[in-house]
């Protein structure tokens, strides 16, 4: 017999677990829920970063925070103070531990590890049916965090690819109080490339090499650049690699496919996550956007409603992100100048609000005025022609 529940969450990653934790807080009002996760164990294989204070979701679990960040190109460095909204890093091991602990106290919500979905969803008599490695499941509602397969390179305007290593150095070489947000490499006609450094102490840091390009890049393709970036920072000192992480994020997705099940059942099967609008198109930041969605989705379900997809960005923000991505897609060599202009000419609190999806109209205006106008006018002309 199938395992019949109110809600199936497909994928126990950031989005799936965030929603499950919010549902766990509802107690008896929570729908009976099963999370199906294909991984057999959780590992400390990634980090999530965001700006915030002690009231920000998961801030109390942040492994480290910085009250200053820097952006650099060639011989120019801009340091931005952000004490009022520190740049915070949440390690995967902390997030997964918090999630599994919370779910262990919610008997109506079950997490099934090592449980890949083996079949396409089948809608029968108003319920969704799946075959998994652990047997058959059915649910009245589904939240699917998996990317809709197949994902082509053309599915996004650009892709953010990164490969990083957390290293422990034999000598003090890092500045623990300042995160290196972007240190741009030499200008390139086909990609935007920069190094990202999160110093945990004077001897320990996560160093990542990141690329914005029209095609995703593998860890292998970025490994030489990462090795060079690490050597530049350790200055010949010995170091040990503690762990590594890598990923590919879509920047500017094309519109999602029509919902499954037709109009009558569109609200009972929703797609969420990085490939369904969770990530900010122009930056890739997703963690706090996911937390806001999870809170809203759980609140709606507490009242007997169906699950929510990610809310669309305000039209002005979406338009600005799309235009920005199209400009750097055509002229990647301009990206370092534009990011440097934003961080050097705009008040830091305005920049942080804008990057954190909390921007005001005056913040948008300040960002626009800081940028060179000719590339954007040319792109607007191309879009209108």
Burial (CB count <10 Å: 0-12, 13-18, 19+), residue 127: middle
The per-residue pLDDT for range 63-85, each reduced to its tens digit, is: 899 999 999 998 899 999 998 89
Describe the crossing of helices 348-355 and 335-345 by its angle, rounded to 10 degrees. Answer: 120
Where does the pLDDT of residue 34 fall: very low under 50, low under 70, confident under 90, or very high at 90 and above?
A: very high
With the CA atoms of 317, 319, 322 and 327 taken in that order, what torsion angle do they form, in degrees rounded to the nearest 10?
-110
Rounded distance between C-alpha atoms, residue 377 and residue 262, angstroms: 41
Give the Cα separation of 9 and 63 in Å (integer): 28
pLDDT at 129: 95
**pLDDT higher than threshold 70 for residue 11:** yes
Q: Which residue has the tokens 């970025």?
A: 222
Q: What is the pLDDT of residue 266?
A: 63
Please check the confidence at residue 256 and state whether its pLDDT lies above 70.
no
pLDDT tens-digit readout, 278-326: 999 999 999 999 999 999 999 999 989 999 999 999 999 999 999 999 9
Q: What is the pTM of this model?
A: 0.93
Q: Torsion-angle region of residue 276: left (phi > 0), alpha (psi -120 to 50) or beta?
A: alpha
CA dihedral (46, 191, 256, 38) in degrees, to 10, reads -30
Hey, is 72 helix, strand or coil? strand
- Are the C-beta atoms of residues 296 and 157 closer than 8 Å to each other? no
Structure tokens at 40: 């057999």
DSSP 305: -
Mean pLDDT value across residues 317-345:
94
pLDDT confidence bin for 122, thresholds 50/70/90: very high
Other C-beta atoms closer than 10 Å to the C-beta of 78 total 19
Tokens of 83: 């004490």
């Amino acid at each position: 017999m199938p395992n019949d529940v109110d809600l199936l969450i497909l994928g126990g990653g950031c989005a799936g677990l965030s929603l499950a934790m919010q549902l766990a807080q509802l107690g008896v009002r929570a729908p009976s829920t099963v999370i199906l996760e294909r991984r057999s164990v959780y590992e400390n294989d990634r980090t999530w970063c965001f700006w915030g204070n002690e009231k920000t979701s998961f801030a109390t679990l942040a492994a480290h925070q910085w009250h200053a960040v820097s952006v650099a190109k060639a011989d120019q460095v801009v340091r931005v103070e952000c004490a009022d909204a520190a740049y915070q890093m949440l390690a995967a091991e902390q997030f997964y531990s918090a999630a599994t602990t919370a779910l262990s106290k919610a008997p109506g919500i079950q997490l099934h590890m090592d449980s890949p979905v083996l079949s396409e969803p089948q809608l029968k008599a108003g319920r969704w049916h799946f075959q998994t490695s652990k047997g058959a499941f059915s649910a009245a509602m589904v939240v699917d965090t998996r990317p809709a397969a197949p994902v082509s390179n053309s599915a996004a305007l650009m892709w953010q690819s990164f490969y990083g290593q957390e290293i422990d150095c034999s000598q003090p070489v890092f500045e623990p109080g300042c995160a290196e947000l972007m240190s741009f490499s030499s200008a390139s006609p086909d990609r935007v490339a920069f190094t990202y450094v999160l110093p945990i102490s004077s001897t320990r840091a996560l160093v990542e090499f990141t690329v914005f390009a029209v095609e995703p890049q593998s860890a292998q393709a970025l490994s030489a650049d990462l090795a060079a970036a690490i050597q530049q920072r350790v200055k010949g000192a010995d170091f040990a690699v503690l762990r590594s992480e890598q990923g590919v994020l879509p920047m500017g997705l094309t519109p999602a496919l029509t919902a499954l099940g037709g109009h009558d059942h569109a609200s009972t099967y929703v797609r969420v996550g990085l490939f369904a609008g969770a990530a900010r198109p122009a930056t890739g930041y997703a963690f706090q956007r996911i937390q806001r969605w999870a809170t809203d989705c759980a609140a709606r379900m507490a009242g007997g409603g169906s699950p929510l997809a990610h809310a669309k960005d305000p039209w002005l923000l979406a338009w600005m992100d799309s235009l920005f991505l199209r400009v750097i897609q055509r002229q990647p060599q301009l990206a370092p100048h534009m990011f440097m202009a934003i961080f050097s000419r705009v008040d830091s609190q305005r920049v942080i609000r804008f990057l954190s999806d909390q921007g005001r109209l005056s913040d948008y205006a300040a960002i626009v005025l800081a940028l060179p106008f000719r590339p954007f006018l040319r792109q607007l002309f191309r879009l209108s022609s």
